[in-house]
Structure 1
Amino acid sequence: MNSTLNFTTMMPTTSVFVTTLENTTTDSMSTVEWMTSTDVLATMTSSWSNVTSSVTNATREPYVRPFDDIGIIISAVLIFAFMVIGLFLNILTIIVICTNTKLRNIFMHFILSLCVSDLISAMISWLFLYRRTWGFDVWSPLPAVFCRFYWAADLMTNYVTALHILSFAILRYISIQFPIKFSKLNLKHGRIWIVCIWVTCFLCGFIPYFILFDARYRDRQSESPDSRWPSCTVVMETYDAYITYAQVGYSLFLYAPTVGVVLASVLISATVRSRSKAIASSQNSDKQRRKERQAVLQLMLIVFSFLVGYIPFTAYEFWSVQPRPNTMYYRRFDYWFGMTEYFFLRFSECLNPVFYNLGSAKMRRCTAQFLKVHFKCCKCCSRKGPPGNSPHSSSQGPHTKDYGV
């Protein structure tokens, strides 16, 4: 009886166990079925992504350089021509100024320093050609430090040129408007001024660009701004820092000097015009007005050359950092826009030594004499100029100083 009771008592437990087992089996099968459905869905999604990627890659244009061999030849001919002309004219001007005591004044010191800046630009211009042609995609076999040095030296000389021209314009204005105060300036002051410009531009231009730029592989299929740039350009990890630096540095060392030069030129022109009406007609006043006009002419020519080179440069710098679609049209436009602005920059730096001579009768005579002695040319240029322009004349009034012309 006890066995029957125990058996009867155990029946519900067994029934519960069977029911639980059946439920567990059903849940497990549902879980398996759910996991199987999830796996299938994931597989289908992955397959669809692969198909989409394959279609995108199949329809995307293969990468093509934004220039051809004819473009390389044209660029090489122009840049090498500008380089040779720039080297010759700037070296000639440096030698003429250094070997003539007649040209030892504060203005000629600034012109000498400008020639050094243009000479450095000419010497590194072949790196720009390599960067934009043979080294456009892969900066090899040149070391990456050449890329960084090019950018650093190029920006430093740009800053140096802008600050020199601004300083030149300020000195011109002081010499015409305040001749007594200008007479207190000597060559020592000019040399200190020039050294300060070079040191400032090295610290604020050379060093930052040497850090921000490098040569590396650029993903031509991405939408990143550097996808259309040469391999030697700004490092994208520091792109935001570069944008901030460009806004501040260009404003201080390029745009502000440009505005200052234009304002100084307007003031100088107005001062010379008003003084020409006030000064009585006499031999000494005529000589003084002639020197002032030559000083203004020299400044205007230098400013014109500066604007020819740096307006396209500024325009390209603004355009290149804007987001553009990564299409062949924009790649080609970016490429030739950058090449063209550099052609203008090199052309303006070749014009500078010519304008230095056109704006200074004294410098023309010294240059002609140097060429006559060393190259047996320019015989027709050895004639003496007007009496007022004689290098030995000393017709300066009590309140005037040599204008360097």
Structure 2
Amino acid sequence: MPESPNRVASPPPPPPPGPLKPPLHTLISSHDFAAAASAFPAKTYAFISSAATDCLTHRANTTAYAAIGLRPRVLRDVSGPVDLGTSMLGRHVRSPIFCSPTSLGTLVHPDGECALGRACQALGIAQVVSTSASFPLGDIVDAIRSSSTPAPAAGSDSGGDMIPIFFQLYVDKDRAKSERLLAAAAALGCVGGVFLTVDAPVMGKREADERVRADESVRAPMAGTRAGNDGGGGGLGRIMGQYVDASVAWADLAWLRRCLPPGTPVALKGVQTAADAVRAVDAGVDAIFVSNHGGRSLDTAPATILVLLELQRCCPHVFDRVQVFVDGGVARGTDVFKALCLGATAVGVGRGVLYGLNYGEEGVRRYIEILNEELETTMRLCGVTSLDELHPGLLNTRAVDHLVPESAADDHPYAKWRRKPQGSKL
């Protein structure tokens, strides 16, 4: 029987229910949190879990850690407390684990980066807020300041009772927009430094993200962008990252310094070779951040723990001149331990804290607490109780040493061929 033209059509049936999210108290490892994330909406899961093209670098970030063995020391008195305290860019933190910049946190939880910030403050660890966050930086700071459980910032010289946060910058094609963001960050008075992302002048091809249509109401207020769909798919990173200035070069570090109050620390996020680490130090940055965007930018780029080995082999002086941060593939306290033994000052977690955010602020706290507990256990079982005691001799890297370049030079070790200019005779 035909419907009346005035009849309102019935809504489509709801999608079949996804897997149930297990109770937070049942999760005892980072892998449990990753498994629970399968309950995310399809687009959220694709955006967070995806990586570039064949995901080889994404997997290598993890497998390279697994290939490095530990060399425990025994008969050491490890009965006392383990000291995880350290500093990032001159600011004291309670643990060397920090929250790497992540985008669009409200896809996971309505409180997004505000919940991340409150959890980091409660734990006394650093948070790096992304230009692509779901909230303006001021809103995140206000949420942290209104929290009832701020951690005392021992050793900090500013920011009241707040653990200083850091701001990650994607440079906008309209430089005036970036200058306004930097001015706003400086005016908040609690931003401990700026992390300039240098490994994503364009966005990598994240096929899982492209395949799922985007909700076009999703916005990134600091970047001034919104989600969309086009003939290439619905990739949130690609479409919302079109404002990023691909012309940023070494000379622009001087511009960045001019935009900041004197003395503001600057870190370069995305260093992946010894050659660039040396150049960054010579350019006067305060820290280098070894990162490959979690494998989300350039597939088959080196695993980040291997880049730390490359720096140790080719330019060890870098560790004496600047702080070195690293992220990518960190899933266990043993991973954090290995990175610290190879010279990292602090170790970032990105995807993992978003998996924790699945349970709100409490989930983020529990995720980091698990990693801290695993790190403490690893340290005791290796015979140490302070970060000052960590060194490369506690590791066996023979399984990956053959993958580590032997020179900071740009040249290939034996292939010296160069392409002739087009039109020249052979």
Q: TM-score range by the shorter chain?
A: under 0.3
Give the TM-score normalised by structure 1: 0.26
Flag the structure with higher strand content.
2
RCO comparison, higher one (Cα < 8 Å, 6+):
2
TM-score with structure 2 setting the length: 0.25
Radius of gyration: which is bigger? 1
